[in-house]
Structure 1
């Protein structure tokens, strides 16, 4: 009897060891964002969809405690130490993160999204062409202001590649059209400062007739400030991304248009790309290491259809 009990215990222990080994065999992929914002809910939904198609992987979606390069880089160090096999990240400060990115890239495959770090050893960038998105925003402003105007821009990280490229694209599109981008105010993803920046411009710069919100949360703050000042509809606004407030403003005609990206695809395609790479399939990485997911213009004509599609993606429908 004693020997039978011992055998049973050994068998049970063996099953537990095998089960543990199987669990440990799951490779881990991580998607790291640049700040806590509702914008990233779509990317998170894309990662969730990818998880359903990658049962042999454990997918993580991680927010840094704050939107700083130091905390992002520390988070990546923690992920690598915990056994993460590949990382995709939207860099908060690419120019000052090269050494950190290269350190991570020497240990695990590293990819970028949303905000690239092309000077680093990342394997590829998957996301929008921020320059082309900026051009689209500028073209929409030209349509809305055929007689010209003076614009003020608002953004999170002035030095981030996505901000620099969007601003450059916008300037390119408005050149020679009688529209001037007077300045761009940064807020370092501080939502209170984002609102204060708009309030300050409304008081100190009465010559401003148009505004551009370059990050997802900037247009809602512009809306709040214009509404409080009784200037909705008096100042022309072109936005970026698909915050519900932004889409509502486009629908009611308070904003001329918004330029939307496809963060759902970043999350979904990004996880599938990294899984394929770990399995030895590198065919998804083009020679120029840029995988561009197109942006689109949303205006009153297509905002309802876009909103319905957005809702379905977030709900997993």
Structure 2
């Protein structure tokens, strides 16, 4: 957080260079700040940050930041939002961790700055719009991959950080809709509160408790690699199928070596870019970008063995910058 602006005292006969420097400093201090607040640290958000960088190049008169939260809790996000409000930022995009318990705080933010949600929505709040995935549709897409992996049916387990997040609930809903009326049986949805040790324990416990488990699916980016590790450690690679979400490097390696069937990927680069540029449009009085239902949907796609090499190469380019 910046301290108060120091008084700048120049001699009356200041040089042109000194005046230019003083003007530049003043302009830098007057730049409006836009921030994207994440729910967890992940490559997913690094890619979103690349989208912010593109927006930054196009709009050098703004300061655009990526705020990575480490806890994945409503309380952690509340602290980040309070800090941003104290700093007087002009616009915030946030992946909401716990919409029901965050609504009051989000409304406080929306009253003071331009607020949009991305990746995980809070539709009951006064956010201007949501930019991201139709998570029910993405869940259905994952459900289709699960059915494809288990043509004769079987028991499946789902893993996610918290069911308090809209994107988690909606993905589970989509999967349930897709497998309804089939021989695919969901034994349970296991949550870990973004605690990697707990997530790993959940997966190991499922492999012991359900010796006939046919497929495991991680619905947040960090979980599929942990499932990959747990299945390999149990000596059941290839026997227990895996379907994932998002584009973690280990998930892609697992698809390449045949341990993971497929993963449903979003477009976080677009989440970042569209968040920043549409906040700037709004600050300039243009709200024409907001759809009637206040949801700007960015489509998802399936990555499997047929297209993983090409996708991984494009991702590597994004992450190395």
Q: Same fold (TM over 0.5)?
A: yes
Distance (Å, rounded) in 1 between the aligned partners of 2:44 and 2:15: 51
Query: Are the structure 2 counterparts of residues 52 and 13 from structure 1 closer, same or farther at C-alpha, using a change threshold of 3 Å?
Result: closer
Q: In structure 2, what is the equivalent of residue 24 of structure 1?
A: 29
The answer to whether the aligner puts 1:255 opposite 2:260 as a matched pair is yes
Q: 1:160 aligns with which of 162, 165, 168?
A: 165
Moved more, 61-70 or 19-28: 19-28
Query: Are the structure 2 counterparts of residues 71 and 172 from structure 1 closer, same or farther at C-alpha, using a change threshold of 3 Å?
Result: same
**What are structure 2's unaligned runs of at least 5 residues?**
1-9
Q: How many residues align?
A: 312
Distance (Å, rounded) in 2 between the aligned partners of 1:35 and 1:19: 36
Distance (Å, rounded) in 1 between the aligned partners of 2:224 and 2:11: 68
Distance (Å, rounded) in 2 between the aligned partners of 1:244 and 1:9: 55
- Given the two structures, how large is their TM-score scaled by the length of structure 1? 0.94
Task: Give the root-mean-square deviation of aligned CA atoms.
Answer: 1.6
Return the offset for 1:65: 4.3
Return the offset for 1:8: 2.4
Q: In structure 2, what is the equivalent of residue 102 of structure 1?
A: 107
Distance (Å, rounded) in 1 between the aligned partners of 2:320 and 2:210: 42
Distance (Å, rounded) in 2 between the aligned partners of 1:65 and 1:210: 29
Distance (Å, rounded) in 1 between the aligned partners of 2:171 and 2:68: 23
Distance (Å, rounded) in 2 between the aligned partners of 1:212 and 1:152: 6
8 A contact 2:39–2:70 mirrored in 1: no
SS in structure 2 opposite 1:126? strand
The answer to whether the aligner puts 1:134 opposite 2:178 as a matched pair is no
Distance (Å, rounded) in 2 between the aligned partners of 1:219 and 1:172: 21
Moved more, 249-258 or 126-135: 249-258
The answer to whether the aligner puts 1:271 opposite 2:271 as a matched pair is no
| Mapping for residues 6-155 of structure 1, pairs under 5 Å | 6-9=11-14, 15=20, 17-155=22-160
Q: In structure 1, what is the equivalent of residue 316 of structure 2?
A: 311
Return the offset for 1:206: 1.3
Render the CA deviation track for 1:73-114: whole Å, top value 9, x for unaligned: 121111121121000000111110010000000000100001
Return the offset for 1:54: 0.9
Distance (Å, rounded) in 2 between the aligned partners of 1:179 and 1:15: 69
Return the offset for 1:18: 2.8
**What are structure 1's unaligned runs of at least 5 residues?**
none
Distance (Å, rounded) in 2 between the aligned partners of 1:158 and 1:6: 62
